[in-house]
Amino acid sequence: MKVTYPRRRILESIQPYEPGRPISEVQREHGLERVIKLASNENPLGPAPLAVQAIQREISQIYRYPDASGFHLRQKLAARFGLDMSNIMLGNGSVEIIDILCVAFLDPADEMVTSERAFSKYVIATRWMGGVPVLAPMKNWTFDLNAIFERITNQTRLIFIANPNNPTGTRVSNEEIHRFVSRLPHHVVVVFDEAYFDYLEPEERPDTLRYVREGRNVVILHTFSKAYGLAGLRIGYALAPVHLVHEMNIVREAFNMNHLAQIAAPAALDDEEFLQRSRELNRQSKQMFLDELNRLGLDYVPTCANFVLIHFDRPAAKIFQALLRRGVITRPMRGYHLPNSLRVTFGTLEENEVFFRTLEAALAQPVEMPSAP
């Protein structure tokens, strides 16, 4: 029997987001005891301990609906950034806020400009709305804000800039950002997705808060998923002028931040010790990766985040599989049209060692030749 159903034509053009493989699945499929996941840019130290304690104290309250306004967390974030509470919107991960932005600002045929090899969610959420993704080329694996600016038309409504970008790990400078924002026409909203903000050194940090304070059409996205170690809770936030938060709130599901996330996030913000430890480990891991990648003579993109994009001289699918069979999950980059590359998240120092030992073994395998007919 032929099944017919209503189908939006646009869905044919969308590749669903491809997440990293979960540890339990790889353990099951490959019969492995120990699996190291370096695939989703999670914090290898686990969650912020103060966040865990806060959840344990509050767990019995999950029978109630959460505070739809997220009052406590928004108040805390407002104080931290010197903003008003009305400048803050919470999301079920910052990825939900990417969706919310597309629902709030894109009509069919409206254009969203970003870079090629930018975080793939911007294109997916744009297509959902029937919007048109416009991709500017990169320069040295980095967002080229001039190339993006040149692609702004009367139909452009949204611009997404991941800074640092995932999967390249590169960032744009404050001078470039300033030149870009100063010239922006009023009919576009520019979104700075700063998911890796906490891993940047102070002198590397984007100074984008000033544009929110000035009331420009600028939205900043931050998350608790990376340096704070709360990826499984799903909580992120937007900092934006009131007029933009107003539009976004119209399309926000009222109970989009769950209760435990609202309890854990403020506690994580108080956990300075954990954040410092996470940053310090990341510094050490970055150095270790650079040293090892150089030693192995591998090509990579210099990173300022908690992962690195490695380019091989052959299809990376085989290397990915060889690592997987030995219990190390990395992230293939086919979806980004980089079939010879893998993105690898920094682990603990011990996990990093296992990764490089395993990688060397995987690379030592003979390259398979096509068999003769």
Q: Would you tell me which residues interact with ligand PLP (CB under 6 A)?
A: 41, 93-95, 119, 162, 166, 193, 195, 223, 225-226, 231, 236
Sheet holding 341-345, edge to edge: 299-300, 307-311, 341-345, 331-332
Q: How far is the CB of 369 from ligand PLP (least distance, A)?
A: 37
* Integer CA distances (angstroms), 262 to 102, 229, 253, in order: 24, 14, 15
Which of 95, 362 has the CB closer to ligand PLP?
Answer: 95
Q: How far is the CB of 195 from ligand PLP (least distance, A)?
A: 4
Which of 94, 358 has the CB closer to ligand PLP?
Answer: 94
In this structure, what DSSP letter does residue 138 have?
Answer: P
The 3-state secondary structure of 262-325 reads: HHHHHHHHHCHHHHHHHHHHHHHHHHHHHHHHHHCCCEECCCCCCEEEEECCCCHHHHHHHHHH
Which of 119, 356 has the CB closer to ligand PLP?
Answer: 119
In this structure, what DSSP letter does residue 228 have?
Answer: T
Q: How far is the CB of 225 from ligand PLP (least distance, A)?
A: 3
Residue nearest to ligand PLP (CB): 93
Which of 17, 214 has the CB closer to ligand PLP?
Answer: 17
Which of 94, 126 has the CB closer to ligand PLP?
Answer: 94
Asked whether 323 and 19 are in contact (CB, 8 A), the reply is no
Asked whether 227 and 346 are in contact (CB, 8 A), the reply is no
CA distance from start to end of the chain: 41
Which of 54, 95 has the CB closer to ligand PLP?
Answer: 95
What is the C-alpha separation between 367 and 362, in angstroms, rounded? 10
Q: How far is the CB of 306 from ligand PLP (least distance, A)?
A: 10
Q: How far is the CB of 122 from ligand PLP (least distance, A)?
A: 9
**Six-digit token string for 64:** 């109630």
Q: How far is the CB of 114 from ligand PLP (least distance, A)?
A: 11
